[in-house]
Structure 1
Amino acid sequence: MSQAVETPPDSQSLGMLRVLPARARPFALLARFDRPIGWWLLFWPGAWAIALAGGVVDRWPLLAWFLLGSIAMRGAGCVYNDIVDRDLDARVARTRSRPLASGAVSLRAAWLWLATLCLIGLVVWVQLGWPSRLVALASLGLVAAYPFMKRITWWPQAWLGLVFAWAAPVAWVEVAGGLTWAGALLYAGAIAWVIGYDTIYALQDVEDDALVGVRSSARRLGARVRGGVGLFYALALAFWAGAFWSIRPDPLAIAALAPAALHLGWQVVTLDRDDGASALARFRSNRTAGLLMFAAAFVVGTTARL
């Protein structure tokens, strides 16, 4: 490390950074530990699957393991993404202060940090049964390919959806013993949700992405971005409704989705594609959307067993 690290303006955990030793701060930033929204978004689909499959009460330690795994693997994904994108990041205003792009962390140190985070993920992985371990391993190819998607497709958000929703089938197989229609529908809905919220996130970089040739769903949708996000959120709710109905065929089960639906609708109605701060706030609000969905999945999954 040869340079002091610059704290990003959208950092959410400045207090945590201040208490860390100076040499550790760039690594915390590299893994985005200062922005917990990322690991919450990675965690929620797995938590939904545990809840809807009826495992919250009997398998509650699994929630803690999935949370730890989400923190570690989200961090590992960010480090890997920055290793691949370090040249692009140096050319974009919002990302040029990242530790690798700025030179605060060397490439060799970044690889070592990535290996450390993966070892933490390995500890979580061995807590699972073999069927769900194999499902988890199947995601590695998707994860490795993701940083390159923005260079070859207008829809890297769809690939991110496959990756960030993967905890759902892993958790479902772990609790239910195999992937059922309900688990598959839950996963499909989570993919659509990820595409929607990451399109909102990508609005912050539309101008810079156009300058450096990076593709995104936000650029592709252009002036129709609000309608596009609304469509993906509607698909997410439709798939989730199908998953709930598969578990408990009762209109009340579908009604449990109402709070999450209202929240997602608020995001769409109030979204301003020309206001980066507004887009960031709505993106981050998906932590609340995930919590509302978890509550609905817990109610349906628990009452279906009664």
Structure 2
Amino acid sequence: MPMSDPADAVPDTEHRGLIGLLPAAARPYALLARFDRPIGWWLLFWPGAWAVALSGNAAARWDMLLWFLLGSIAMRGAGCVYNDIVDRDLDRQVARTRGRPLASGAVSLQAAWIWLGSLCLVGLIVLLQLRPLGGGIAMASLALVAAYPFMKRITWWPQAWLGMVFSWAALVGWAEAADMAWAPGLFLYAGAIFWVIGYDTIYALQDVEDDSLVGVRSSARALGSRVRPGVAGFYALALALWMAAIWQLRPDPLALATLLPVALHLGWQVLTLVPADGANALARFRSNRNAGLLMFAACFVIGQTL
């Protein structure tokens, strides 16, 4: 069955679902955009959704939440295609990534560029739904996105760069809120950066051995045996900054209690993390979809009381 074996070799794929229903010729392109791994677009979507909810506009601007979701799917896919174009030679040297469509030859380089352009066109449609300020902020993220694939070659902390990229929707979402002070949005964005660093450090645990062999740097390698307290520290900083965002809007200790569910969830991740177990790390990483939902609930509650 085409593309079956390479995808099966990747532990975090979910291609047996909807991707398996696609025509054989379309599957490599879906896999190239990581449509088989919806966790990626959820993680990109949540910070923007938090911003809309915290500003009190989740009900009134429900359509914007749907546009953000579509944009997250398209632009996360575009980012993955671009990343694989840059990393195609490196991916062939790593067991978990050598089955990717570009690295394996299932998709040609020219076809990958065309597919990238198509996904960016969808992103452009979403961009046109934004106010000028939001659209300008969204466009500013392209430089960060373009530089990200090179970060693992020049810094031990590419997860910090990814944090800025994957949290950017918080700034876009806040810009869509009319007449709101920027301090809460900036605290929300900063907290999201540390959340991303934490969960992507967990994700990087799967590749520590291969990364060390091919010279790829990551926060998981940099932290070494201190990875659990390191992730705990990142999550603690995220929660502190989110508390600051909420306090700017509602200086009430009871308002901060809305963060208790997400705090307990992040604490569970740290306490049950087994760094040497790739399956354990993958499960903890994926659970951040639920962490994002819990944070959205907190932002929605606060936003509705403004």
Category of TM-score, reference length = shorter chain = over 0.9
User: Paired residue for 2:91?
Assistant: 89
User: Paired residue for 1:295?
Assistant: 297
Shift of 1:12: 1.7
User: Paired residue for 1:270?
Assistant: 272
| C-alpha contact (below 8 Å) 1:173/1:179 kept by paired residues | no
Are 1:191 and 2:198 an aligned pair?
no
Matches within 5 A, 1:31-110: 31-110=33-112
How far apart are the structure 1 equivalents of 2:3 and 2:96? 17
| Cα shift readout 1:162-219 (whole Å, capped 9, x = no counterpart) | 0000000001011134661000000000000000000000000000000000000000
Give structure 1 regions of 4+ aligned residues with deviation exceeding 3 angstroms.
Answer: 176-179
User: Paired residue for 1:219?
Assistant: 221
| C-alpha contact (below 8 Å) 2:55/2:180 kept by paired residues | no
User: Paired residue for 2:12?
Assistant: 10
Paired residue secondary structure (1:14) = coil
The 3 A distance-change label for structure 1 pair 101 and 177 is: farther
CA RMSD of aligned residues (A): 1.1
Paired residue secondary structure (2:189) = helix
User: Paired residue for 1:118?
Assistant: 120
How far apart are the structure 2 equivalents of 1:4 and 1:128? 38
Are 1:128 and 2:103 an aligned pair?
no
| C-alpha contact (below 8 Å) 2:152/2:218 kept by paired residues | yes
User: What is the letter of the counterpart of residue 10 of structure 1?
Assistant: D
| C-alpha contact (below 8 Å) 1:72/1:121 kept by paired residues | yes
Give unmatched runs, 5+ long, in structure 2.
Answer: none
User: Paired residue for 2:205?
Assistant: 203
How far apart are the structure 1 equivalents of 2:140 and 2:65? 21
State the percentage of identical aligned residues.
72
How far apart are the structure 1 equivalents of 2:186 and 2:19? 39
Give unmatched runs, 5+ long, in structure 1.
Answer: none
The 3 A distance-change label for structure 1 pair 212 and 177 is: farther
TM-score normalised over the length of structure 1: 0.97
Shift of 1:130: 0.4
User: What is the letter of the counterpart of residue 33 of structure 1?
Assistant: F
Matches within 5 A, 1:231-246: 231-246=233-248
| C-alpha contact (below 8 Å) 2:33/2:78 kept by paired residues | yes
How far apart are the structure 2 equivalents of 1:19 and 1:25? 9
How far apart are the structure 1 equivalents of 2:16 and 2:221? 31
How far apart are the structure 2 equivalents of 1:4 and 1:273? 30
User: What is the letter of the counterpart of residue 233 of structure 2?
Assistant: L
How far apart are the structure 2 equivalents of 1:33 and 1:97? 15
| C-alpha contact (below 8 Å) 2:71/2:126 kept by paired residues | yes
Shift of 1:13: 3.8
Shift of 1:10: 2.4
| C-alpha contact (below 8 Å) 1:172/1:179 kept by paired residues | no
TM-score normalised over the length of structure 2: 0.97
Of 154, 161, 164, the residue aligned with 1:162 is 164
Shift of 1:9: 3.6
Of 29, 32, 38, the residue aligned with 2:31 is 29
The 3 A distance-change label for structure 1 pair 132 and 228 is: same
How far apart are the structure 2 equivalents of 1:176 and 1:78? 32
How far apart are the structure 2 equivalents of 1:79 and 1:253? 41
